[in-house]
Structure 1
Amino acid sequence: MKPSDDIGAGSGARAMPSRPASRVLETLRHDAVTALGGVLSGFWSSIEEQVRLAALAGHDYMAAQEDRVAVLDLSHRALELATRFRKSIETEFEQWLSDRPPPPAADGLSLMSEGELEVQLAAQQIIELMDHQFLHPLAALDERLAVLASHLGLEGPRANPLRPEVPVMAFVRLFRADDLPPGLRSTVFHQFDKRLPAILSEVYTKANATLESASIGSGASSAHPHAIARAAGPAGAGSAAAPAPRRGGAEAWVPDGGVVEHYAPAEGDIAVTESTAPAYGPLSSGLMDVLAAHANGAPPVPRSYRDLVREQLHQWRERREADASMAAPADGSGGQVLSMSQLLSVARMLQGDDPSPYARVLVGDDRRQLGDVIRDELLRGLRELGVDPEQSPLRREDEDAIDLVGILFQSLFDANDLLQQARDIYSRLVVPYVKVALTDDSMFNQRGHPARKLLDAVTEACDGNTGETAQDRDLLDHAGRVVDRVVDEYESDQAVFRLASDELRERLDQQRRRAEVAERRAAEAIHGRERLQQARRSVNDIVASRLSARKLTSAVAFFLDRHWRHYLTQTWLRDGPDSQRHLAAIGVGDAMIQVDADAAHALGSAVADELLALQMPLAECYSSCGLDADAARDAVARIIAALALPDTPRTVHVAQAQDDLDDEPQDGALHLAPGQAPAFEPTVAARMRQLRVGQGLRLIDENGRESAARVAWISPLTARLLIVNRRGMRKMVVSPEELAALVGAGRVVVRAVDAPFDEAMKHLWQQLNAANDGAMSSATG
């Protein structure tokens, strides 16, 4: 077929006027360039206003001026930037039409400057968020573009020219390395991130409508079955287009496990189209076979994320039942299945019962699966109501809900630092969440679900909370009261969860503000200690060099080693090592050494003149050491007495031993032997130096338990990183090399800190995948 051929001719898809394929493509290009160009409409005037307000509220005048100058320059170039932005979008369409290979990937992050690295990481984050947000419309658009390509006679996979990566990277390429100062960089990308989603939504809606009006839709897909495979291929999948270059190879390093990657279907597979469903990892080989069944002639049927998880769950449960030789008939074959009303009646009865059976599983005292314990408790309740579970077994959907809740709660408990009171809180929530899962399994794939938001808030309140401070105890108590209210009040109205989560979230926000203050104080304390260490090391070298090279009287040597040392340290800290005051302080000590030398050669007149000239500097030196006027006079008198006689004994003195300021309390995560340097890979240490404030981490203790953490501050003097938990409490202060050693030892994983429920769902998915793939490998081996 040639580009001039009509779309829809002979397809029988729709009785609508057909249009040439080239005209449809031109319409798509024009609409996209026009809409996306609107991202920069009024953009810089808004940034100017934000910078002005930030300057009024801030205290760093120089940084504010730098930001204002930079944004003024960008405002003057607004037309040029908008033109280049639109040209980049048009170039992507030209790339889609051509047979040229895509441009090579950028060099590794290790070759970037600090500013370029921050820009690239910000762009990656926006791309990943947009990929997930528009997963469904992108999947539909990929398929339609593949059909359009076939009408245009284009062969082979090609990247969607409207994928989120296109406008984001077009925006990034607008700036030179020095265009965005650090203070302006976050403001610019935050504003872009706010504007882009609404415009992308408009673009995708209009593009899909344009293609559908040209008879490129579900009907057209059936007319061109080969287009489905092309649309689902790696280069054609819009949702996979951005993350793909970052998955392989060490050149473009990102933190291990930094993002939950979207499922990118391989060629011939069917894309997941549930718009609210996050994809938590690659599918197992067994499920891949199910999804690829259409390749053998079966019609393609889109599978939702819910279906995929349930398929894995059924395989997992069947394997466990087979291993235990207790395979039960599915869906109640051989008897009447238990009704939902009966099951909910039992759950309602158990909701106020003793939750200790679940608590024992969560802490590991009971080695059974939590789902099995929940099932046993439900069956016990059924018997108490006079129902024989063997005659009325659970439906497969109810079994799914029970197992999902069980794995979810165990994953949450394993992935967070939850202590005694948290165990009690979680165990009370098990039955209410079973009731939610039985009646509304959208909790597992809708991030805005009220029950999901409550579990996130409870986890954040309890994670790492030992109750040591009054605020921590109050937060735990408040979380307990909120959970008690849910247990008492929840019947079927999920508004109970919403009210509880909002109330607890408000308390969390209050504590977060306190945590920010605590983080700043911790950072200031560490920074102050590091400056003192640096000052004392510098002064130690100065004093040692003066004492070790010459013979001095005891009085002068004592002055240099005590009072002068303290004076040098004070001026270094207050004025800096290159300040005039610090250099003048160094001159005082050198002058005293010269006085001592002149006295040794009986140059009495010179000694007297030099001591008179030093009267004021010596007074300032003694004052900085805390000596009053009388003590200062006595000290000077001892020096004069020692210098009065040329034959006063003189020797080479050794500088006093200094208290080691490096004996900062060792963080528990390190466990390094005294004087032992951490073993680390240089490449890993280089990557740790690329981390920025806010980077998420997972800390793993000696028992294998994980907890969420993040980088709260990086020292400008030593590059050490302050690591805090969710509530801003210090976990450790480590150098990049020490952090690399912890990564190599498996004690730290550098990854994004997802919401607790998301993290647990990822663990759930990985657990099912690993179990099913392991079972399949054993069967085929």
Structure 2
Amino acid sequence: MLEEIKRLVLEQLGGLPGEFYGPIEAALSTTVLSGEEARSPQVLYQSQAALWVLRQHHAAHVMRYRQQIAQGFDDFRSLRIRHSGDLPLGLIDESQIDFHLAGQSLATTLEQRYNVPLEVMDARLAMLAAALGAEPALNPLGASRLATAFVETFRDEQIPEILRRLLFEHYEKALGRVLAELYEKANALLLNAGYGVPANARSAAQAPPHPPRPPAPAGFGDAVPGVADGQGFAGADHGVPGTGAGYRHGAGGYGSGGAGQGGYGQGGNVPGGHRQGGHAPGGLGHGNAHPGAGLGADMPTSAELGELRSLLHAWREGGLGNEAAAGARSTKAASGQRRELRLEELVSVASLLQSEPADVFARALAGSGTLAGVIREQLNDGSRRLGLDPERTRLSVEDEDAIDLVGLLFDSLFSSQQLQERARRLYARLVLPFVKVALTDQQLFVQPAHPARRLFDSITEAVAGNRGETPQERELLDRAASISQRVVAEYNEDLTIFETAHRELDALLHQQRRRIELQAERAAKATNGRERLNYAREQADAVLARRLAAPPLSPAIAEFLSTSWRHHLVQTWLRDGSDSERFAQAISLGDGLVEADRIAAAGRGNDLANHLLALEPMIGACLASSGLDQSAAEHGLAILVKGLVYPNTPRDLHPPPPRQAEEDAEERGLWLDATVDSLRLDPADLEHLGSLPAGAWLQVTDVRGESMAVKIAWISPLTARRLLVNRRGLRVLVASVEELAALAASGRLQMGAEPTAFEQAMRHVRQQLDLAAARR
């Protein structure tokens, strides 16, 4: 029975230390702008700075507050009252004294306000202690205990006077919204357990401690409609305590299983409010948490999201064997006796773990286990630390869906992107913030403009394929790492931090994108130059092969044609083109040299001398194109003449020079294996790939199985081959349409690629889920 009361108290009060930071921040800002306080602006700004620090310690405060509340029940159960000699002695500073005095004042106010229900509860707890054969102990729900828990929560913080006053004011208001109903439920539990009090006392306990007040508008930090501070709950349709049934009051639910007060976050950005009758059907989470969303502003569930969740359920069932599936069904049946974790409880657990080292998630992303399984293990561990026994609680189906999708998303990201070890640790830190977003906002997986999704894409753009080889790349890595740490430190269910972080990183990425464009342009120019050079060499080799094939040539002429003349042909083609007069003159020089060798073989010395004198200007130009000056050119001409003066020099047919090895052989070996040439090509693929313009995206997989998104950056006007570059503008492969079609036939090329990393990862998730559904 005490455990049930403890659970009830933790559900109602467990998140209070972090619920009113938003209203306090607004109050401080108003005070600074209006100048209402007769203090220097510096004091007010110090209070704002101290509030920022409290936000960073939010998870630790929630854990400490819950521990303090739970400690009260542990102390009562042990029935041992600590004496002054048990307490450690020490000096405390003036600010701590002021904090303790404020706590005492709060306890006095609460005791006066809830005097009647507290007296009834004290009497019933005394009966419980007597039944245990011990002296009465301190009421774990009493005003003193609640004040002490709040004071101890902020024991180590330096809090200015203005902020301290606002903290206690909002804490008192928050208690005022829940204590009347909480005391009523606790008294009912004690009464049902047989620890009753006289009828007149019960009647007094059911009366409101204060006259009813006009209903206040619902909002973050304000009263729920029909429930004022300290107001009773007359006319409430009560469910059975502890069963998760809602407690309805007027138009809005309040309590376990109903729509709750305020929310769990900052400044009114409530992540869907509390559950009302469990999760919204078909939703991944519990509503919409985009900036400006108010209490209960649920987004309609899209058909796409519903279909995704259906596939996810099929995937979970298909991933189990028959015996495991039977075990899962029996576990599910047993879990029906356990209550579902409320949204704010699950978010509190995730917030507690958010600031802790993410090594366990990094190891999961490295392949040591499924990320979704590790997330569940960590949430179970955090639940124990917050006093929520995993043996008595369970995740809802919607929470399971959110966790699985986040796990699959991050796993798919690492299988589809070139991410380094440093990036793995960066993403590991983001796992829990994205789990919280998925739990509270079902639009994350279907809304392209979602703030968290845009930040995810920006971070991936910054780190994917980034080896930190240049100062700019290192700056991007450092900025992405600092932004991930900032999200972990500041995300408190307010998506504004994602928007701010995205804008900051996107400003730096704008410069990076321009560098990527220039990098792709340089790659295209370099590839174009290489294509022209190779084509010129092919043309020169074709012309040379015909001259070497017949008639038989002397070694001197064959050597000159294969070296200096071939180089001259290549240079002339590159500079003037194949249709130019200079290129025609270069070809005629080769024909003239073949004719000179024929004359020399006939022993016609006078004709040979006249012929060489006529060719001398073209021979000089040919040697000059190889970089020889006038003196060197004359020396080269002398060597050529020397080889022709002997008519009996042996002459023969000469093979063309060997082709130079392709410079991109290693590159092509990574993408085009031996089996590609033997595949039967699909004419439709050939036609479609041939029609793709520059700028089109493809998804290719190398021979090792690593996938990459590539863009057609340039199409060769000579060979029609396509230059493919990655998302960083670096060359990946130059391939013909036929080679790309062969890759498509082998299943290693998909036409079209998602423009963002999130969409690409979700496509991998969808493929995995579709495959599981097809196996059923």
TM-score w.r.t. length of structure 2:
0.56
Instruction: Output aligned runs, 1:48-447, within 5 Å.
Output: 304-314=303-313, 316-317=315-316, 323=325, 325-327=327-329, 328-329=331-332, 333-366=336-369, 368=370, 370-447=371-448
1:670 to 1:506, Cα distance in 2 relative to 1, 3 A: same
Tell which deviates more after alignment, 304-313 or 439-448: 304-313
Equivalents in 1 of 2:499, 2:334: separation in Å? 33
Alignment match, 2:557: 556
Instruction: Output aligned runs, 1:536-615, within 5 Å.
Output: 536-615=537-616
Deviation at 1:738, TM superposition (A): 2.3
Deviation at 1:732, TM superposition (A): 1.8
Q: State the secondary structure of the residue aligned to 2:712.
A: strand
Q: Is residue 2:493 matched to residue 1:457?
A: no
Deviation at 1:659, TM superposition (A): 4.7
Per-residue CA deviation, residues 701-743 of structure 1 (Å, 9 max, x unaligned), is 4564433222222222222222222111222222222222222
Q: State the secondary structure of the residue aligned to 2:517.
A: helix
Alignment match, 2:652: 652
Equivalents in 2 of 1:570, 1:648: separation in Å? 34
1:312 to 1:634, Cα distance in 2 relative to 1, 3 A: closer
Equivalents in 2 of 1:393, 1:440: separation in Å? 20
Alignment match, 1:67: none
Deviation at 1:391, TM superposition (A): 2.2
Larger radius of gyration: 2
Q: State the secondary structure of the residue aligned to 2:747.
A: coil
Contact 1:712–1:724, Cα closer than 8 Å, also in 2: yes
Deviation at 1:491, TM superposition (A): 0.9
Q: Is residue 2:481 matched to residue 1:474?
A: no
Q: State the secondary structure of the residue aligned to 2:698.
A: strand
1:666 to 1:680, Cα distance in 2 relative to 1, 3 A: farther
1:384 to 1:721, Cα distance in 2 relative to 1, 3 A: same
Per-residue CA deviation, residues 672-721 of structure 1 (Å, 9 max, x unaligned), is 35x99453425244543333222222223456443322222222222222
Q: State the secondary structure of the residue aligned to 2:523.
A: helix
Give the structure, 1 or 2, with the largest relative contact order (CA under 8 Å, sep 6 or more).
1
Contact 2:679–2:746, Cα closer than 8 Å, also in 1: no
Per-residue CA deviation, residues 34-93 of structure 1 (Å, 9 max, x unaligned), is xxxxxxxxxxxxxxxxxxxxxxxxxxxxxxxxxxxxxxxxxxxxxxxxxxxxxxxxxxxx
Equivalents in 2 of 1:559, 1:307: separation in Å? 76
Deviation at 1:377, TM superposition (A): 0.8
Q: Is residue 2:520 matched to residue 1:519?
A: yes
Contact 1:402–1:434, Cα closer than 8 Å, also in 2: yes
Equivalents in 1 of 2:317, 2:658: separation in Å? 68
Q: State the secondary structure of the residue aligned to 1:591.
A: helix
Alignment match, 2:171: none
1:330 to 1:769, Cα distance in 2 relative to 1, 3 A: farther
Equivalents in 1 of 2:317, 2:612: separation in Å? 94
1:472 to 1:528, Cα distance in 2 relative to 1, 3 A: same
Deviation at 1:604, TM superposition (A): 4.8
Per-residue CA deviation, residues 660-682 of structure 1 (Å, 9 max, x unaligned), is 14353322533535x99453425
Query: Residue 664 of structure 1 aligns to which amino acid in structure 2?
Result: D
1:637 to 1:714, Cα distance in 2 relative to 1, 3 A: same
Q: State the secondary structure of the residue aligned to 2:610.
A: helix
Equivalents in 2 of 1:546, 1:579: separation in Å? 20
Contact 1:700–1:747, Cα closer than 8 Å, also in 2: yes
Contact 1:362–1:410, Cα closer than 8 Å, also in 2: yes
1:558 to 1:767, Cα distance in 2 relative to 1, 3 A: closer
Deviation at 1:533, TM superposition (A): 2.0
Equivalents in 2 of 1:547, 1:773: separation in Å? 64
Equivalents in 2 of 1:772, 1:538: separation in Å? 56
Q: Which runs of 5+ in 2 are unaligned?
A: 1-281, 288-299
Contact 2:544–2:656, Cα closer than 8 Å, also in 1: no
Contact 1:680–1:738, Cα closer than 8 Å, also in 2: no
Equivalents in 2 of 1:318, 1:601: separation in Å? 91
Query: Residue 360 of structure 2 aligns to which amino acid in structure 1?
Result: P
Equivalents in 1 of 2:578, 2:302: separation in Å? 67
Equivalents in 2 of 1:426, 1:358: separation in Å? 9
Deviation at 1:440, TM superposition (A): 1.8
Equivalents in 1 of 2:301, 2:388: separation in Å? 39
Equivalents in 1 of 2:433, 2:676: separation in Å? 51
Per-residue CA deviation, residues 398-438 of structure 1 (Å, 9 max, x unaligned), is 33322222222223233323232221111111100111122
Equivalents in 2 of 1:723, 1:500: separation in Å? 31
Q: State the secondary structure of the residue aligned to 2:327.
A: coil
1:756 to 1:676, Cα distance in 2 relative to 1, 3 A: closer
Per-residue CA deviation, residues 157-193 of structure 1 (Å, 9 max, x unaligned), is xxxxxxxxxxxxxxxxxxxxxxxxxxxxxxxxxxxxx
Alignment match, 1:150: none
Contact 2:314–2:772, Cα closer than 8 Å, also in 1: no
Tell which deviates more after alignment, 556-565 or 328-337: 328-337
Alignment match, 1:679: 679
Report how many aligned residue pairs link the two structures. Answer: 475
Equivalents in 2 of 1:470, 1:331: separation in Å? 57
Equivalents in 2 of 1:659, 1:303: separation in Å? 60
Alignment match, 1:82: none
Contact 1:512–1:728, Cα closer than 8 Å, also in 2: no
Deviation at 1:546, TM superposition (A): 2.0
Contact 1:680–1:740, Cα closer than 8 Å, also in 2: no
Contact 1:464–1:707, Cα closer than 8 Å, also in 2: no
Tell which deviates more after alignment, 302-311 or 470-479: 302-311
Equivalents in 2 of 1:413, 1:704: separation in Å? 13
Tell which deviates more after alignment, 318-327 or 377-386: 318-327
TM-score w.r.t. length of structure 1:
0.56
Query: Residue 691 of structure 1 aligns to which amino acid in structure 2?
Result: L
Alignment match, 1:121: none
1:398 to 1:576, Cα distance in 2 relative to 1, 3 A: same
Per-residue CA deviation, residues 585-618 of structure 1 (Å, 9 max, x unaligned), is 1112222333343444454554443333323222
Per-residue CA deviation, residues 477-519 of structure 1 (Å, 9 max, x unaligned), is 2211111111111112211111111222222222222222222
Equivalents in 2 of 1:540, 1:302: separation in Å? 67
Per-residue CA deviation, residues 554-588 of structure 1 (Å, 9 max, x unaligned), is 44343333222222221111111121000011112
Q: State the secondary structure of the residue aligned to 1:543.
A: helix
1:414 to 1:642, Cα distance in 2 relative to 1, 3 A: closer
Alignment match, 2:662: 662
Equivalents in 1 of 2:520, 2:345: separation in Å? 52
Contact 2:698–2:711, Cα closer than 8 Å, also in 1: yes
1:731 to 1:739, Cα distance in 2 relative to 1, 3 A: same
Equivalents in 1 of 2:747, 2:676: separation in Å? 19
Q: State the secondary structure of the residue aligned to 2:654.
A: coil
1:580 to 1:484, Cα distance in 2 relative to 1, 3 A: same
Deviation at 1:448, TM superposition (A): 0.9
Contact 2:671–2:703, Cα closer than 8 Å, also in 1: no
Q: State the secondary structure of the residue aligned to 2:368.
A: coil
Contact 2:720–2:736, Cα closer than 8 Å, also in 1: yes
Instruction: Output aligned runs, 1:681-760, within 5 Å.
Output: 681=681, 683=683, 684-702=685-703, 704-760=705-761
